[in-house]
Amino acid sequence: MPETRFRSLHHKLLFSISIVAVLLAVISSVLAYYVEFDRASRHTEKMLTQLLDTVENTASIAVYVNNEEMAKDVLNGLLKNDIIQGVKLSSEQGFYLSQSKDNSQNTDGKIERQLTSPFSENYFIGTLHIIPDSHFIQSEAMYSAMFSVLTSIALIAITSLIVYLLINNNLSKPLELISNTLHDIKNGAKRRLPVFNDERHDELSRLTHDINSLLTALDAKFNDEHLLRQSIETLEKNLRHSYDSASAGLFLLNKDGKLVSFNNTLKVILDKVGINIDDYAHRSDFSNENNDQTVFSGIFNDQDKFNIALIKTINSNQLETLDISLAADEKSTQTWLHCLMSKSVNPSGDIQIEGVVFDITERIKTEQSIKYQASHDALTGLLRRHAAQAAFEHFYTNNKDCKAYCFLMDLDGFKWANDTYGHAVGDKVLAITAERLKNSVRATDIVSRLGGDEFLIISFASGLDGYQHNIAHQIVNAIQAPMNINEQTTVSVGISVGISMSHQYFDNAFEIMMIEADKAMYEVKRKGKNGYCYKGNDEAFKINLIRNDSSWQWKKRLNTAV
C-alpha cells in the first residue's frame, strides 16, 4: 500500500462543508445581486411614475394657465426627491422650464409625461420630463443587492457552521474517537471502546457495542487458538520426540528414491560410519525438487540391491525386507542394516516409500564369526574339510574349464615332535606349517587342514604341465626348514605331498581327486617320505623325494630307531 497521508474525517467534513458553503454563497450572491438589482431598478421606475402621477394634475393646471410660479413650485417639489436628477416642463404656448441638481446634461432614462388640459383629456398642452438620478438609483440598487448578498452569505455561513457543529458533535467526533481508540487497541489487549454516557440508542452506540462484542469474541477466539496451538505444539514435540528417539531409523522417500524426511536415529546410525545424511536430504535452497538431490541408495554398499528392493516395493503392495551394509571405507567398520520398506500414498496423492531400518551389525558380526568358526580350524585358521570342499565346488562349478590341482599333505615327524616337546609345541608346529603353506601358494588358492597333521591345498590354474611340480617343491622346501618354536626349541619336520589333477569339472571331482592324491601321498610315504608324488600322463607315479638336509631331526630319529 502506497503511503497516503491520513486525513481526519472531521477535516474532510469541514473542507466539504466549506466548499459547498462557498459555492452556495457565490451562486446565491450572483443570483441575489441580479434579481435585487433588477427589482430595485423596476421599483425606482415605478416610484418615478408615481411621482409623476402625484404632480401631474398640478403641473397640468400650471401649464394650462401659463402660471410659471406654480410650475416652478411643481418642479422644485419634484427635485426634492433623491431619485430625480432633473426636471423639464414645456408648454405648447411656448413656456419652457428646466431645473436640475447639477448642470450635467445627462438625460439617460428620461421619463416623459404628456400633459393635457385639466378639463379636456384630448387637449394636449405640454410635456413634463423627469431625468432620474442614475447614480443614486444604481447605488440604491447596489446597496439593496449587497444587502441581500450579505444576508444570504451570513445565512449560509451560519447554517454551514450549525450543520458542521451538529455533524461534528454527533457523528464525526464520536466516530473519530471510535476509530482512534480501535486503531490503538493491540491484539489481545483488554482495552475496549468507550461507551457513550448519554443514552444515544443510535447506530453509533450500537456500532460501539458491536465492536466491543466482536473484540471480546476475538479475544476469546485468540485465547482458544493460543491454547490449541500450545497443545498442538506439545503434541508435535512429543511426536517428534518419539519419531526422533525411536529405536529404529525411519525414512521417507519419494518415488524417485530421494529422501523426503528422516528421524534422528537414522542420522545417528549414519553418523557412526561417517555418512552425513544432510548430503542426501532435500536442500531447501534449490527451488526445484528434482534438481541434483542425491538418491538415497548412495548410502549403501550394494546400491543395486537397494534399488531393486525399492522398485519391488513400488510395484507391489508388499512389505520388502533386506539386509544391506552401509558404504564405508573399511570393511571392519562395516555397518549392517535390516531394512523394511512399504509403499504409502501421501495426502497429495504422491507415492512415497516408508522405511524402517535397524542396526543389525552386531548380529551380522556374530553370525559371521559363528560361520567362520564352523568353517575354519581354530588352531591354524585354515578352512575345515567341508568348507574347503564347498569352496572348491563353488569355484569349480562356476569355472568348469579350469584345471584344478589337489595337494594332499601329511607331516613327517610330527608325532615324534609332539611326543618329544609336548602338545603346545605340536600345536605351534601345526600353526607354523599352516602359515608356511599359505605363503607357498596364491591367496586365492584353497588351503585347508583336514585334521591332525593332514593338510590340503587346491589350486586352480591354467598353467603348463610342471606347475604342480614347482608348487610341491616349494611346499616341501618351506616345511622342512627348521621351525623356531621358542628360544630353546627348534623343530624340524618333513612333509609328504600327494598330487592329483583335473582338467575340467566333473561330478564328484573333489572325492575322486582326494582319492587320487591320497594314493600319490601313500607312494611318497612308502618310498621314504619328505617328497611329493603325482601321476604322470603315462599313469605312472612320479616320485620326487628331497633328502638334502643332514640336520633333519626326523631322519636322525629314524636312524636311532633303526
Footprint on this chain of other proteins (rule: CB under 8 A): 58, 61, 64-70, 73, 117-120, 123
CB of 68 to other proteins, least distance (A): 8
Measured from the CB atom, the residue of 68 and 427 that comes closer to other proteins is 68
Measured from the CB atom, the residue of 57 and 397 that comes closer to other proteins is 57
The string of DSSP letters for 305-373 reads: HHHHHHHHHHHSSS-EEEEEEBP-S-STT--EEEEEEEEEE-TTS-EEEEEEEEE-HHHHHHHHHHHHH
Partners of 340 in the beta sheet? 321, 356
- Reference 408, options 463, 381, 465, 446; nearest CA is 446
Measured from the CB atom, the residue of 65 and 319 that comes closer to other proteins is 65
Cα separation, 128 vs 111, in Å, equals 8
Measured from the CB atom, the residue of 6 and 119 that comes closer to other proteins is 119
Whose grid coordinates read 473484540? 215
Backbone angles phi, psi at 456, to 5 degrees: -140, 135
Backbone angles phi, psi at 70, to 5 degrees: -65, -40
CB of 80 to other proteins, least distance (A): 18
Neighbouring CB atoms inside 10 A of 494's CB total 25
Long-range contacts of 415-421 (CB under 8 A, 24+ apart): 415/453, 416/553, 416/554, 416/557, 417/491, 417/493, 417/553, 421/485, 421/489, 421/491
C-alpha grid cell, residue 275: 555418512
C-alpha grid cell, residue 287: 527451488
CB of 110 to other proteins, least distance (A): 27
Helix, strand, coil abundance in the chain, percent, nearest 5: 50, 20, 30
Measured from the CB atom, the residue of 121 and 539 that comes closer to other proteins is 121
CB of 90 to other proteins, least distance (A): 16
CB of 78 to other proteins, least distance (A): 17
CB of 118 to other proteins, least distance (A): 7
CB of 152 to other proteins, least distance (A): 47
CB of 132 to other proteins, least distance (A): 27
Measured from the CB atom, the residue of 59 and 429 that comes closer to other proteins is 59
Partners of 323 in the beta sheet? 338
Long-range contacts of 317-322 (CB under 8 A, 24+ apart): 317/343, 318/342
Measured from the CB atom, the residue of 67 and 181 that comes closer to other proteins is 67
DSSP letter, residue 489 = -
Cα separation, 185 vs 219, in Å, equals 12
Measured from the CB atom, the residue of 73 and 549 that comes closer to other proteins is 73
Angle between helices 423-440 and 414-421 (to 10 degrees): 140
Pairing of strands 494-502, 531-535: parallel
- Reference 114, options 166, 162, 158, 59; nearest CA is 59
Cα separation, 400 vs 467, in Å, equals 19
Measured from the CB atom, the residue of 23 and 65 that comes closer to other proteins is 65
Sheet order of strands, 124-132 included: 96-100, 84-91, 124-132, 111-116
Measured from the CB atom, the residue of 96 and 143 that comes closer to other proteins is 96
Amino acid in position 198: D
CB of 70 to other proteins, least distance (A): 4
Neighbouring CB atoms inside 10 A of 78's CB total 22
CB of 64 to other proteins, least distance (A): 5
CB of 99 to other proteins, least distance (A): 17
CB 297 within 8 A of CB 303: yes
CB of 52 to other proteins, least distance (A): 18
In this structure, is the dihedral angle defined by the CA atoms of residues 269, 271, 273 and 278, taken in order, positive or negative?
positive
